[in-house]
């Protein structure tokens, strides 16, 4: 008991203890003076006991007041801390190789995620932290994870990103749920994979090659392997290539093995009744010029060109017009991504419905954060929409 009492005394500042002694002494002096004025007799023992009691009472009063003030300060600090944590916990991260690729694919998805967040009430609205990585390399993603975690991001949306096992384990240890876009990953802490349904692409390709009875067909795409994801076969690239090959075979065309554009030393001879796959390194407009130089002089009329990016298709159309060749009623040209430029060129294309993809990603992550431990992994397919315009429909 005495030990605990002494500990309490040590917890108090010496200023409060001095005030307690001074208050006790003042109370004793007033009491002694009153007794003398009133003529009340008292022994020295009574005065000493009263001095002791008055000092102890004053000490206890100041101790309680000090404790109450200390508890009030703690409550204020906890309230501030709670506010800061809640503010940080309302943040979610979006990781994508935005600047590495030339398309607007990533930007449009991020814009849709922001719009979905802005539609929330202000008190539950989540802040978006966008992280741009060099490309889809899992090593790059792993390097930025620590920076993301320092900011205390509560959840992540990964666009076309493949995580390493080490990075996944690290996120799982921090209980950070993940929504994947255009990459299938059903391992924890992934809570959802949002994947494209290429039915719209199939509609456009079938329309140009089969319904319009193309004399030949050419697919311009990146190679099927994806070194940035460390995979020999990129599932989504392969799916689109398979759709092209299937349509070409149904049209009675002979499908040739893929050729790398840079390996074509001279002009490639395009024969009627055949289908070709040309692999390029990047989706850039200047590749349209290269394709014109390598192919056009030997391409028969009513050949379908299928580009897996609007920007390359537009570059090809510009190159044709630059050489006084009107592609209308000569070639059937199809792009991909439904960029705003595609409508200017009346280009048939494919819409990913990126606004739906971004909103769905935000909603899935929101549910996983609002109901931790009760939200199980799901896969969602978003249908692509084929848009048939004048470039292929003549």
24 pLDDT band (50/70/90 cuts)?
A: low
Query: For the ranges 19-28, 81-90, 160-169, 317-326, which has the lowest average pLDDT?
Result: 81-90
| pLDDT tens-place string over residues 259-317 | 998 888 777 888 999 999 999 988 889 999 999 888 877 789 999 999 999 999 999 99
What does the alpha-carbon distance between residue 345 and residue 283 come to, in Å, rounded to a whole number? Answer: 18
Average pLDDT for 16-25: 56
| pLDDT tens-place string over residues 66-96 | 677 767 766 655 554 444 444 446 788 898 8
Query: For the ranges 23-32, 147-156, 378-387, which has the lowest average pLDDT?
Result: 23-32
CATH architecture entry for 199-353? 3-Layer(aba) Sandwich (3.40)
The two tokens of residue 339 are: 């960029």
- pLDDT value of position 144: 67
Quickly list DSSP for 189-217: TEEEEEEEETHHHHHHHHIIIIITT-SEE
- pLDDT at 203 > cutoff 70: yes
| Type and span of the H or E element at 185 | none
- Mean of pLDDT over the chain: 81
CA nearest 90: which of 47, 129, 61, 45?
129
The model scores a pTM over 0.85: no
Give yes or no for a contact between 128 and 94, defined as CB atoms under 8 angstroms apart. Answer: yes
- pLDDT at 227 > cutoff 80: no
What does the alpha-carbon distance between residue 327 and residue 239 come to, in Å, rounded to a whole number? Answer: 28
What does the alpha-carbon distance between residue 203 and residue 36 come to, in Å, rounded to a whole number? Answer: 111
The two tokens of residue 18 are: 């001095």
Please state the φ and ψ torsions of residue 95, each to the nearest 5 degrees. Answer: -115, 125
Give yes or no for a contact between 257 and 287, defined as CB atoms under 8 angstroms apart. Answer: no
Q: How many residues does the chain have?
A: 394
Give yes or no for a contact between 89 and 271, defined as CB atoms under 8 angstroms apart. Answer: no
- pLDDT at 180 > cutoff 50: yes
Instruction: Report strand pairing: 178-181 vs 190-197.
Output: parallel
124 pLDDT band (50/70/90 cuts)?
A: confident
| E strand spans, 189-340 | 190-197, 216-222, 254-255, 259-260, 274-280, 303-307, 331-334
Which range, 51-60, 126-135, 315-324, has the best average confidence (pLDDT)? 315-324
| Dihedral angle, C-alpha 372, 374, 376, 380, nearest 10 ° | -80
CATH number, span 90-196+354-383:
3.40.50.2300
Which range, 3-17, 100-114, 214-228, 302-316, has the best average confidence (pLDDT)? 302-316
Residue 130 C-alpha from the chain's centroid? 7
């Amino acid at each position: 008991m005495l030990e605990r009492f002494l500990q309490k005394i040590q917890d108090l500042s010496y200023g409060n203890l001095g005030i307690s002694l001074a208050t006790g002494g003042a109370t004793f002096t007033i009491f002694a003076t009153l007794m003398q004025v009133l003529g009340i007799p008292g022994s020295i023992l009574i005065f000493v006991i009263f001095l002791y009691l008055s000092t102890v009472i004053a000490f206890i009063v100041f101790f309680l007041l000090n404790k109450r003030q200390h508890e009030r300060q703690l409550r204020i600090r906890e309230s501030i801390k709670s506010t800061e944590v809640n503010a940080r916990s309302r943040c979610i991260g979006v990781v994508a190789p935005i600047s590495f690729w030339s398309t607007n694919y990533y930007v449009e998805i991020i814009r849709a995620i922001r719009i979905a967040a802005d539609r929330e009430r202000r008190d539950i609205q989540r802040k978006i932290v966008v992280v741009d990585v060099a490309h889809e390399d899992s090593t790059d993603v792993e390097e930025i994870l620590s920076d993301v975690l320092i900011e205390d991001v509560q959840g992540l949306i990964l666009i076309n990103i493949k995580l390493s096992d080490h990075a996944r384990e690290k996120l799982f240890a921090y209980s950070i749920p993940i929504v994947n876009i255009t990459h299938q990953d059903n391992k924890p802490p992934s809570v959802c994979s949002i994947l494209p349904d290429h039915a719209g692409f199939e509609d456009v390709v079938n329309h140009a090659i089969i319904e319009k009875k193309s004399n030949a067909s050419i697919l311009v795409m990146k190679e099927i392997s994806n070194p940035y994801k460390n995979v020999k076969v990129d599932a989504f690239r392969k799916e689109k290539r398979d759709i092209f090959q299937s349509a070409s075979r149904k049209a009675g065309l002979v499908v040739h093995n893929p050729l790398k554009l840079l390996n074509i030393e001279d002009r490639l001879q395009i024969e009627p009744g055949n289908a070709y796959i040309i692999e390029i390194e990047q989706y850039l407009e200047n590749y349209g010029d290269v394709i014109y130089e390598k192919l056009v002089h030997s391409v028969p009329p009513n050949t379908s060109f299928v580009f897996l990016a609007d920007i390359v298709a537009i570059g090809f159309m510009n190159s044709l017009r630059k050489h006084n060749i009107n592609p209308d009623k000569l070639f059937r040209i199809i792009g991909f991504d439904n960029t705003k430029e595609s409508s200017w060129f009346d280009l048939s294309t494919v819409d990913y419905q990126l606004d739906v993809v971004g909103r769905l990603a935000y909603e899935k992550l929101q549910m996983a954060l609002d109901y931790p431990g009760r939200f199980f992994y799901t896969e969602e397919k978003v249908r692509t929409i084929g848009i048939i315009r004048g470039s292929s429909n003549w």
